[in-house]
Each structure stands twice: as C-alpha cells, then as structure tokens.
Structure 1
Amino acid sequence: MRYALLIFTLFFLPITAHAQILFSEIMYDLEGSDAGREWVEIVNTGATSVSLSGWRFFEADTNHKLTIVQGDETLASGDYAVLADDATAFLAENAEYSGTLFDSSFSLKNTGEYLAIRDSELVDQDSLTYNSDWGAGGDGNTLSRSASNSWEAGAPTPGSGVVSIDSGDPQSPSTSEETVTNDTRTNIHQTTPYRKQTIFADAGEDRVVSVGADVEYEGEAFGLTGEALEGARFLWNFGNGRIAEGKSILHHYEYPGEYVVVLSVSSGEYSASDRMLVHAREARIEIAVADGEIVLSNTDTRELDLSFWMVRAGGATFQLPKNTYLLKGAQLTLARSLTKLPLSSAAFLLYPNGMLAATTESSTAPEPVTGTTSAPIAVTEARTPVKALSGKSIVGATAPVGESAIKRTLEPEAQATSAARIVAEDTGGEMYKWLLALAGIIGIAVAGMLFASRSKDEWELID
C-alpha cells in the first residue's frame, strides 16, 4: 500500500506543480469613454486544467468576483479567458469572441495601478503594476505580454496571444524557448521570469481649479502587494516651477492654463510616479450684501470649490469650511447669525491665501491717481493680488488681471492705490490714527528740545 501511495504521489505531483494562470492582455484606456468597456485577459500556462471557481481579480484594493458568462470556468491548458467590467458591453464590441468570458465589476486607472489574479484561497497567482508609459493610452490598443515576457502595446487580440516557455525543469535553465499560441492548444509550462516588482503612486484624478485659490493635493502610495504604504516620501512638481514635499499639499496657481502635476513617491530602494492634468481657470463669482446678509453668486459655467475661502466685512472675517461647493448659476446666502459679520455695505471675498476674489459694487472706489483714468470705477470681480487683510503679504502671488475677469480699466498705479484703499477702509481708519499719534509724539519732542535750548541760554545770562 505504501508503494502504491508513493507511486501515485510521484506521478501526479510534478504535473500539478506547473499549473499557473498569468495575465496576458490589458485593455485599460479606450478611445472615448472607458465606462463598462475595460477588460483583462488571462491564460493557463500549466500542463493541466485549472478551475477558476472562487477566484478573484484584485484591483483598487478590492477582490472582485468573477461570474462565468460564456464558456467553462475550468480553464484548459493553453486556453485564454477574458475578465470584463461589463460582459454585455464587451460582447457588443467583440461580437466574434467565442472564448471563455467572466463578468466582473472594476475600473482600471488610465495612469496605471497594481493588479493581481488570486485563487480561491486569495493567494496571488500573478500580479503586475502597469503604467501609461508602457503605451496603449486612449489609442485603441492594449498591453499584451510578448513572447519575451515583456509588455508591449498593440492591437487588441482577446482570446489569443503568445507566451514563451522554458523546459519546466527548475534545476536547469532552458537554452531554447518555444512560442505557443492558443490556436494550437499546445500544452505549455510555467513561463514567468523574474521581474522586479515596484510600488505604485497615485496623484489623483484630473481636476479644474480656480486661479488664486489654494487647493489640497493628496497623494497615495501602495506597496508591492497593493497595501497602503506607510513612511513613503512624496515629492510634488506642480508644473509651474514650484515643487513641494508631503503627502498632502495646499497649492494655488497664479495664472490660467493647463499644468501637468507629477507626484514622485519613494520608499527605500523602490520608487514610482504618477501624474495628473490640472486646468486652472479664473473663477467668475460675485458678492453682494442684501438685508445685512452676504450673497455669493456663481456666474461661471462650472461648479466652484469654495473650501476655506473668506468673507471680510466691517473688519471681521468669516471662513467657509472645507468641501463648500457652489453649483454653476447658483447662489449661496450666508446668514448674519452664522457669519457674525458686522453690518456693512462693503464686503470682500478672499481666496484662502488672502488674495482678493471679488468685492461688492457698492464698495467706495479709490480716488484717481495722477496719470491714470479718472473715470468712475465699478469693481464686480478682481484678480489683483493684494496684502492679506491679516497683515501678511502674499509672497510670489502675481495673478494677472484680464478684461474678461474685471469690469474696469485701471493702470498699475491705480490698482495699487485701490488695494491700499481696500485695506484702509477695511481696518476702519486705524492707519490714520497711528499717523496722528506719531505726529503728536514728534511735536512733543520738538517742543522739548526748544524749551531745553531756551533754558540753557537763560542760565548763561545769569552767570
């Protein structure tokens, strides 16, 4: 009986040891919308069939279930299978596909991410971290595993592909390789060469921001097995000449435009990067005072993020909390019972960094400056950088003034005078009080000097 068991073990153990499921193709970024159209392909590189019952596709920190839609969930040696985000949508675009198809639910990142195929015990059978630098970004191509086990961009071939194999003997490396396609249904063995794994960086999705408004940028880093990476170094390049270090950074753009933001993450010997596209646009917003309450009106064609923006009136300031959004064309009324702002016809809307965003039309216009226009000035929006009303200057803030953003004609000297007048009005004339006190001190000092001089002369006459 012992001999029979030994013969049985020796006969079957080598066969099952070579069974392996590998990723063979990835469709992560299609032309147009990606919703429901993404898919990945796997292949059985072992000599025996493998049941995929209970297997999971790991993506975005989630073990996605696989539901058989077409074919058999037991994958024969050399066979391919497609895992689709939406099986119905996949078949609509690939009507000729007749192979094994699993339905799942996932969304592949266009910038790249960590993927794994896990067995019923949640043990990784294959994994990789792809990124957009490999190609196939929005051009209709896919990433396919080549005969040399590298990844290359090319035309989609769901249900077929090429793999390279070795001799199957782990003790002696093969001196030759064999290329096999699924059309031959030839039995193949394990073919995964050593490939150094990397960590993964995520800068976030593309976004639209307002010029002059501080926005929070928060990065993420994942380890070799997809877990959140602790203690990593985060370095941001905001594409406008400014860099910053930290997992979470507040940053604003001084000028409108499109900027490529790059996040570089490093941890020990590993490093990774990700990038995002930021559209910086001038925010079109108006502020008014109605019955003592502040009214903000979004005249822009997009939703505005007003997180940490400030309203200034009567020498007091109210700051809007994080995640305050104003829909396009909508109004936001801030009750006095909430803001505690004094009654005032003049109100100022400030970006989080203290730059002026908008002011009420009823605000008193500054006096004309010699050499500039003397026409009345009606300011409804402003992008001119000024000192923060807290008294701190905004270093490096030089946001431009455009005709589309400001309904006035004003030379630089007049702009400076306007900013100074805003600060003077807002502080209630405190500057003039200090000047008056200084003049009084100087006057007393001069009078004391004259008195001392006169007294000295009188003493000399007596002598």
Structure 2
Amino acid sequence: MHPLQSLRFDLPCLAAAAAACLLLPPAARAQVALAEVLYDPAGSDDELEWIELVNEGETPVDLASWSLGWGGASWAGDRVALTGVIEPGQHFVVGGPRSAAENASPVLDLPLDFEADLQNSGATADGVALFDVPVAEVGAETLPVSVVVYGGENTSGLFDETGAVASVDVGDAPGGSSIERGDDGVWRVQAAPTPGAPPQPVPEPARFVLAAAATAALVGVRRAR
C-alpha cells in the first residue's frame, strides 16, 4: 500500500485525537490563587500570621510541588514549601501554627510557622507570591502564579505574574486587620478577617451618600441656570 493511502485512513483518527485535546480542561496549576493574608495580627506576629489560598477550578490540586514566597526586596528571599490537597472551591489556610482570637481563630489546613515573619509593610511595599514549583526551584526570576503587593510604593520592583513590576494592590492594613481579594478581584483591607471562608460581600455605597450626590448635582444644575 502506498504511504499516502495509509495516511488517508489515519487522518480521521488524528482529527479525533486533536479534538479530544482541545476539550481537555486547562492545567490545574492555573486555578489556585491567593485569597486573604493576615500579616499583622493584633499584638505579636510570631506564630499567628496566615495566608489563605482558594481553588477556583473544578478539580482538586495537590500542593506538593507548590510554594509561597514573601518579602520586600525579592520573592526568593523567604520561602516555604506547601503540602496537602485543595479541593474545588476550598479555601485553604496556611500558617499559624497557633489559632487564637488575635488572628481570628483560623482552622489551619497546613499549620506552620513562617520562620521569617511576613513583612508588615510601610512606606515601601511588601508582598506575598504563590508559585507552582517546588520551593528549591524558586529563584529571583521565577514567575509566580498569584501575587498581592501591599503598603506604600513598590520601589523594590516586586514583579507580578507576567514579569512586569507589580502595581500596589492595597494599602497597609492596621494591626488585627487582613487584606482580602473580593469576588470582583480587588484587594481590600478587611477589619474582620475571614480565614477559610469566602470573601465578605463588596460593600455598596450607602443610600445617604447617593442621596447627597444627587442633591449636589441638582444644586449644580440650578446654579448653572
């Protein structure tokens, strides 16, 4: 048989295989993200800080080859390896290892002490980064899969998921407050931390604020006349 004849018979199989590949779900590594960080608990920070992850995908993710990095100068400075499986929709809390009123009493999925405490920030921004590679492979140029930068200006040049210098996501949280990513993707200071739970609803403008704005607009129109 001529080679081209056999190729004709194989083409339907190749087309079916290609279609099956297109229908495969995206890689699980892209579905886990940072959700909330308590870097400055009320009182002492030691053994009370935590970082919350969320699995926004539809399949479980084994965190055995994932890691966290944090700091102000580089993501490669302070790092820790992750373990455990995070189920679809699950909020997964890493840190502690103590759970107390000072850190909103989290149920810790991975209890561990951040031996170099998370940075409390100030005029210079600090941040936390999530990596989908083992901790030993995180270097100064390793791209994270999820980042939050908080505090003042990012003068250290901490980079985001694309490798570009990251914008500051949220200001510095006062002691006892966390920073949390809302359903709209915006990071906010959360006065009442919610470890292990979905984010608080995005606050809507109060009615009296809207009424005041409407009144001011009417006054402006009348004056213009």
Tell me the TM-score normalized by structure 1.
0.30
1:82 touches 1:159 (CA, 8 Å); kept in 2?
A: yes
**Greater share of strand:** 1
Distance 1:6 1:104 in 2: 47
Which residue identity is paired with 2:120?
Answer: N
For the Cα contact (< 8 Å) 2:65–2:82, is it kept in 1?
Answer: no
Checking the alignment, whether the CA contact within 8 Å between 1:15 and 1:47 is kept in structure 2 is: no
Contact 2:51 2:93 in 1 (8 A): yes
Closer, same or farther: CA 95–22 of 1 in aligned 2, 3 Å: closer
Work out the CA distance in 2 between the residues paired with 1:21 and 1:144. Answer: 15
Matched, 1:79 2:99: no
Distance 1:17 1:10, change over 3 A: farther
The answer as to whether partners of 2:53 and 2:93 remain within 8 angstroms in 1 is yes
Tell me the equivalent position of 2:144: 124
Quote the Cα distance in structure 1 between the aligned partners of 2:99 and 2:93: 9
**Alpha-carbon offset, residue 136 of structure 1:** 2.5
What does 1:409-428 align with in structure 2 at a 5 Å threshold?
none
Q: Could you tell me which of 76, 99, 106 is aligned with 1:90?
A: 99
> What is the percentage of aligned positions where both structures have the same residue?
28
**Distance of aligned partners of 1:94 and 1:64 in 2 relative to their CA distance in 1, 3 Å threshold:** same
The correspondence for 1:2, drawn from 8, 14, 19, is: 14
Q: RCO greater where, 1 or 2, for CA within 8 Å and sep 6 or more?
A: 2
Q: Is the 8 A contact 2:67 2:132 kept in 1?
A: yes
Match of 2:118 in 1: 108
Cα shift at 1:80 = 1.1
Shift of 1:130: 0.8
RMSD of the TM alignment (CA)? Answer: 3.1
Counterpart residue type for residue 146 of structure 1: G
- Do structure 1's residue 58 and structure 2's residue 69 form an aligned pair? yes
Extract unaligned runs of 5+ from structure 2. Answer: 1-12, 153-169, 202-225
* Contact 2:37 2:52 survives alignment (8 Å): yes
- Which residue, 7, 30, 37 being the options, matches 1:26? 37
Identify the match of residue 156 of structure 1 among 171, 180, 193: 193
**Mapping for residues 228-377 of structure 1, pairs under 5 Å:** none
Match of 1:145 in 2: 181
Structure 1 residues 23, 37: closer, same or farther in 2, change over 3 A?
Answer: same
TM-score normalised to structure 2 length: 0.58
Give SS of 1:124's match: coil
Measured in 1, the distance between the counterparts of 2:55 and 2:63 equals 10
Contact 1:81 1:102 (C-alpha < 8 Å) held by counterparts: no
Retained in 1: the 8 A contact 2:59–2:87? Answer: yes
Instruction: Tell me by how many angstroms 1:157 deviates.
Output: 0.6
- The amino acid of 1:131's aligned partner reads G
Shift of 1:7: 3.6
Deviation at 1:116, TM superposition (A): 0.8
Q: Distance in 1 between matches of 2:17 and 2:111?
A: 38
After TM superposition, give the deviation of residue 99 of structure 1 in Å.
6.0
- State the SS of the aligned residue for 2:145: strand
